[in-house]
Chains A and B, each alone.
Chain A
């Protein structure tokens, strides 16, 4: 149904991106490269600039300097909805869903891919009905992929915290992205929910061949899933490498792991 997923995703390249908020430098000449089909984790203490980095990638925040490119396309000048249309989807740190069922929410994710207008849908024109049915079938597939198959017709409000958080993940997948940005996908979940979500993210990467950028505090999860890790501290990129390299980096230990070792214990 969508040929994007059959081809390898383009390289996502972040070059010397700087973001300032009224005197505060939230990102200071940060560079990172997300290779096609890999999981790239961004870690760092609270306020390090991880969410700001996502806002730059998804076009919600214009950097003062630097560029972001996806393949040959420069994203820094594009409106957020154009970036979404190019196949960059994201989730947010806080759960934001609408009322209604899981299916309702996932169908909102199909918004940009839906061609039939309101009138055609309301009048049940054959073309619109066919399209709607296709989208619904795909949404159900995605729900199954993310472990929400059993809840497809349940109201979101009745789901557990972990499931609700995965509704956002599934909704982002409904955009048929090539690059998926996950902002703290397991924050607030219990151990079982974390394990379940980690499994889902791993499957996404192998089955859909997505590039995934992951912001996460759970070091165990990062070590398990990530191919590359970039460490931010006070807006600066202080280390970059494989999880093992980063884990041993003295500056990282001092800036990050030194202040929060409980994640490591969990690993």
Chain B
């Protein structure tokens, strides 16, 4: 049962707050921030957490300050933003398709972005920024293709998932072809990019992603009540005055943009978009899209995974995408097994 409590504010207003959702969201945010501090302290030159905090507050010594603000902070910020974007995009897609498998990973948006990046790497040997742009374009093009193929008075259930799997298969084949066409240097670069990594990310990746999130997160949240109502079905939502088609278009486009931008910044970090919303939902035990908890969960997951990979294998050894891929894969199997037991698959 959901814990609903009427919270009396000084104004005498009785506000319905889902206390559990609030607590879970706050805790996840704390986990993400704590992991970030620990992660900033981790590396060839370890810095105690207390010093990290002091440096972040602008009171550290100059040597640490350089390492923290120039080298490690932007990397962690990219991690937080990528995780939050993927968590939010996953929650949006899953809510719109009303299917836990309707996430960007399964739909092939990541593969689409990879195709764009590979084209730039293999055919043009482009710079890092050009690769990011290629990934962005690839992701958007894939999103557009899925939209055209799956749209038929709304996209629900397995239709979107099946179309996405088809698109994903085609794009994966294209990616394989591009790799075989590449020379050994480009191929190595491509493979690293394709695993999803935060290595060497700096402020150049932070700003565009931050700007996009600053634009899209409020836009998405402004439409969240409509999205929650749409989980009752299009007809009921229309009857209650929701502009269903418009809300869905805005939210799908936002989700595609968030996924493409996140992928452009870090490469395709697997399974965060799939698992974060589901984990968040299980923690809050609250129905509805759970957008904010999914966002916090995504950020916490990604930064924690990056920390695990650095702790276990040393800095720069194991890209974060490998860790999220393994964790996410195990989670997906668990999801399939439990859903099967519950008789839903």
A residues sitting closer than 8 Å to B (CB atoms) are 55, 58-60, 79-81, 84-85, 89-90, 92, 96-101, 103-104, 108-109, 111-112, 117-119, 122, 124, 126, 129, 132-133, 136, 153, 155, 171-172, 175
| B63 contacts the other chain (CB 8 A) | no
Interface residues of B in 14-50 (CB under 8 A from A): 14-16
Closest Cβ–Cβ distance, residue A255 to chain B (whole Å): 28
Which residues from B are CB-within-8-Å of A133?
A: 13-14
Which residues from B are CB-within-8-Å of A80?
A: 238-239, 244
Q: Are B221 and A118 in contact (CB under 8 A)?
A: yes
Q: Per-residue 0/1 for B220-262: is the Cβ within 8 Å of any A Cβ (1 yes, 0 no)?
A: 0110111011011101101111111000000000000000000
Closest Cβ–Cβ distance, residue B216 to chain A (whole Å): 13
A60 touching B238 in the complex, CB below 8 Å, given contacts A98-B232, A100-B287, A101-B4: yes
Question: Which of A98, A124, A175 neighbours the largest number of chain B CB atoms within 10 Å of its CB?
Answer: A98
Which residues from A are CB-within-8-Å of B15?
A: 132
Q: Which 4 residue pairs spanning A and B have beta carbons closest together?
A: A112-B241, A80-B238, A99-B287, A84-B241
A100 touching B238 in the complex, CB below 8 Å, given contacts A81-B244, A108-B229: no
Question: Which of A85, A92, A111 neighbours the largest number of chain B CB atoms within 10 Å of its CB?
Answer: A111
Extra 5 A-B pairs, beta carbons < 8 Å, given A92-B236, A133-B13, A136-B14: A84-B238, A98-B288, A100-B4, A101-B16, A111-B229
- The residue that B4 contacts in the complex, of A90, A129, A153, with Cβ under 8 A, is A153
Ordered by A's residue number, 25 sampled pairs between the chains whose C-beta atoms are within 8 Å are A55-B235, A58-B238, A60-B235, A79-B243, A81-B242, A84-B239, A96-B233, A98-B229, A98-B231, A100-B2, A101-B16, A108-B240, A111-B226, A111-B240, A112-B242, A118-B218, A118-B222, A118-B224, A119-B218, A119-B221, A122-B221, A124-B9, A126-B11, A136-B14, A175-B241
A109 touching B240 in the complex, CB below 8 Å, given contacts A101-B4, A119-B222, A153-B4: yes
